[in-house]
Structure 1
């Protein structure tokens, strides 16, 4: 057979390359649409299967005696998943604390297993469940009924170490007895510890939401309140904060933020140079208010307006309004009497 040389390849056509790119983009769009439709179908299926009518029908079918096997074995994986999510949501709605058995996968902690896990679900002001907090407790020894906190995700503003020493005391024979034992036969109270931890977490969430709501009503930047030392990159090239413009200075307030991470001290800055510090209690009441003028001297009258009677932090907006009105009226009286009081400092 004679060998024949293959013809040279045709010259590349730019229009064909662009057509290939166009078809690739269309294929990718169709794939993305397919994934979105699959996800929507799963969501709708779980929503339908989680309805009360479907649950009632499942209960009726489950009540019927079956000669072979159980009805649960015939349920689809999707239905079982929907039932699980429905029960989990109902539990988290009714109960804020869940206990469960947990095995630490770390090789160095295998001798401590099994652990007692505790999950705390906290709802914010919008009714949404935030990221849960966890505590894991272990036995002091295999033969002991006393427990200690092994690991946790509780924030630092909760005095967990103090609660542990108060509610989970150890006897002299237990691990760490010489350091943590109170020398008494007081029984351990895990429920009391969890109640205190949950109270602090709920109080923190309420204080944070109250400050966010206050910032929103004052017309300041929406969303989470920024820390006292915010990044200078938030400023525009002309040095003006992009979040808080001049039009948002309601009651003359330029800034209101939390002084620390536990939201128990609020810092207020007025446009006339005044500075205010509000001390908030654990249960959300205003314990003390300090107002400093531009000369760094305390203004006791304004402090009484803000903190008199220990009002809840949710009433801080009305107190700021009263303070603003009193300052305006005082300034108006000062202007009207300025000629006669010109000699006064």
Structure 2
């Protein structure tokens, strides 16, 4: 196993320098790994030591661990097609142009302001997203990451499966993979706290994202909690066994290729962001981040990965230093993957 000296030092410094309260990280190559837990689960109202088995609010990692696999299974089963229009499944949406591909690659151009969004009921919020969002000039022209794409994907899953999207993810992904700590309904005392917010106080065991908090089981963009062990198991399954056979090899191949409808090469596959390896062949890796302080990078070709879990939004989400350091850690990891 490569030592990843610079990467490990930078990861440790996130906690040691107080950029995040605590950190769980895993770097693996095949069955060898470097796994570390350090720092605090919370610093307020009283310090609490972080332990390796605690569950994190994964935020947008929910998209690629849950929603993307379900969508790809439905494609494999012929129940949906990648280039089907969104309107086929969500007729309330007023534009016939965006497709499931556009949603998966964040090229849909769907955007818009919803007044008093966080005060709406679940039904009102869904209705607002479907009726008040518009397709702007970025449609089919540029990648613009937005949660709304995965809210729509979640509702498409619901239209096909006739169950809440989070129930479908649980039954079709989490349980078959045996991810014992992955859940949309965690016990608060097992969870790493996130932000302290007016009105909600210290958020612990409840999803941080305000849309997911309102929509509950009907949210496909956030809401999943899991431990490092769960993410390790998912990662090995995805790049080694086609998600334990839930997906075909051809489907997983698609996750490691540019899937945007745009001309020329771009950095998005189905749900995942693409990174170039520093190897001579410049093969593609997949990655994703979560707002709460989580990220994954997976290399199927060399059977390697980096998984990092922090609660960088505790006690406050105003944490630019974390974002700056994360970029440097990504660069260090990609460079060290190619050394001895």
Greater helix content: 1
TM-score relative to the length of structure 2: 0.24
Report the structure number with the largest CA radius of gyration.
1
- Which structure has more relative contact order (CA 8 Å, sep 6+)? It is 2
